[in-house]
């Protein structure tokens, strides 16, 4: 006589017999509201510019960005994360285009806010790397090193001009010590207490950022290993997490997503604030490239990667497939 729960009495395959059965017992579900669309807007162009390393993704004009935002709303996507790409001649050592009220990112925030209002959570990348001629996320000292505290002063200015432009959420992504607290104080000082902070809590120094460099026209010289996290470390992320929460983060993020699902899971277990994960450019491009070669089923791979991120504990996923996936999810429910 077999004990309860052993074969042949226990047959887990009974719950996998049909699509309807599998759907009914699924432990993790994707929903359009889980998704956030990262989008690039480039100054001085009249037509969208395809990003060669990211098939299907473009640097938007102001007009096409507005259309992309409206399309995201229609699909049920929750948010859009905006990255500005200034003209090369406007880059300088201090990244002044990033704090110009008429800089491309601030203009884009106003454009999207005018187009969709509060129907989409408008988020902004709060970092200097797109605007500096050296490509680093902060200002440099006399020895060419990123000066943490001088950079924080620039972040405070960026937060204020982005808030004035109408952003709902700022995303300080430079991994400077103290950035969340400084940004929170800067926002509160100008009466923008309602603007939320999505902290890039665990942003790893990753090889998977490669295609993003093209997307933002990066001028980076050297690397970012002195401020982005070492891929070997997990406990360090939990220390960063505690600091960000103490400084006032409303939401926290792990970036990249796929190679760091253990970090996503640990962070999600540790906090009572929303957790985001960013499926970055290299993750996107690997799937697209393999699918183009016919080596994998593109749609299945996309949904599998996103489900894995969601299963690990991320409530919000930044992904370049956000609108496409949201449309397919909505169609499947009709």
Return d(Cα 248, Cα 227) in angstroms, integer: 20
Nearest CA-CA partner of 325 in 20, 32, 15, 9: 32
Report strand pairing: 196-203 vs 121-126.
Answer: unpaired
Given the residues 91, 255, 293, 328, select the one marked as catalytic.
255
- Please state, in angstroms and as integers, the Cα–Cα distance from residue 290 to each residue in 72, 293, 300, following that order: 26, 5, 12
Cβ atoms of residues 64 and 58 within 8 Å? yes
Kind plus residue range of the DSSP H or E element containing 41? strand 35-42
Given the residues 67, 90, 203, 328, select the one marked as catalytic.
203
Structure tokens at 55: 């098939």
Cβ atoms of residues 97 and 91 within 8 Å? yes
- What is the CB-side half-sphere exposure of residue 122 using CA atoms within 13 A? 28
Eight-class DSSP state of 128: S
Q: What are phi and psi of 6, to 5 degrees?
A: -105, 165
Eight-class DSSP state of 2: P
Q: Which residues, in sequence order, are CB contacts of 102 under 8 Å at separation 6+? A: none
Return d(Cα 62, Cα 40) in angstroms, integer: 10
Cβ atoms of residues 85 and 132 within 8 Å? no
Question: How many Cβ atoms sit within 10 Å of the Cβ of residue 215?
Answer: 25
Identify whether 203 is a catalytic site residue.
yes
Return d(Cα 334, Cα 327) in angstroms, integer: 11
Return d(Cα 118, Cα 107) in angstroms, integer: 17
Identify whether 255 is a catalytic site residue.
yes
Residues labelled as active-site residues: 203, 255
């Amino acid at each position: 006589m077999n004990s309860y729960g052993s074969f042949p009495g226990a047959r887990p395959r009974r719950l996998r017999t049909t699509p309807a059965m599998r759907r009914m017992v699924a432990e993790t579900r994707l929903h359009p509201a889980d998704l956030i669309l990262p989008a690039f807007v480039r100054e001085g162009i009249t037509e969208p510019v395809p990003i060669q390393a990211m098939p299907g993704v473009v640097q938007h004009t102001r007009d096409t960005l507005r259309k992309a935002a409206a399309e995201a709303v229609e699909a049920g996507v929750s948010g859009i994360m905006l990255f500005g790409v200034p003209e090369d001649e406007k880059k300088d050592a201090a990244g002044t285009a990033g704090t110009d009220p008429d800089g491309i990112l601030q203009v884009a925030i106003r454009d999207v806010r005018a187009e969709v209002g509060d129907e989409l959570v408008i988020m902004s990348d709060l970092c200097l790397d797109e605007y500096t001629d050296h490509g680093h996320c902060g200002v440099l000292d006399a020895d060419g090193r990123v000066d943490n505290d001088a950079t924080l002063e620039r972040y405070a200015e960026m937060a204020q001009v982005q808030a004035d432009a109408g952003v709902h959420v700022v995303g300080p992504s430079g991994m400077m010590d103290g950035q969340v607290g400084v940004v929170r104080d800067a926002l509160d000082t100008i009466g923008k207490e309602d603007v939320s902070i999505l902290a890039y809590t665990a942003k790893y120094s990753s090889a998977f950022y490669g295609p993003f460099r093209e997307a933002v026209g990066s001028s980076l010289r050297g690397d970012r290993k002195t401020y982005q996290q070492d891929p070997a470390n997990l406990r360090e992320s939990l220390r960063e997490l505690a600091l960000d929460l103490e400084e006032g983060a409303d939401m926290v993020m792990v970036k990249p997503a796929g190679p760091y699902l253990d970090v996503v899971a640990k962070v999600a277990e540790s906090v009572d604030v929303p957790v985001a994960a960013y499926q970055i450019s290299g993750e996107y491009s690997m799937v697209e490239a393999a699918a183009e070669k016919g080596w994998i089923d593109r749609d299945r791979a996309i949904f599998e990667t996103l489900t894995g991120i969601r299963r690990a504990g991320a409530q919000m996923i930044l992904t370049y497939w956000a609108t496409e996936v949201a449309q397919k999810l909505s169609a499947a429910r009709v």
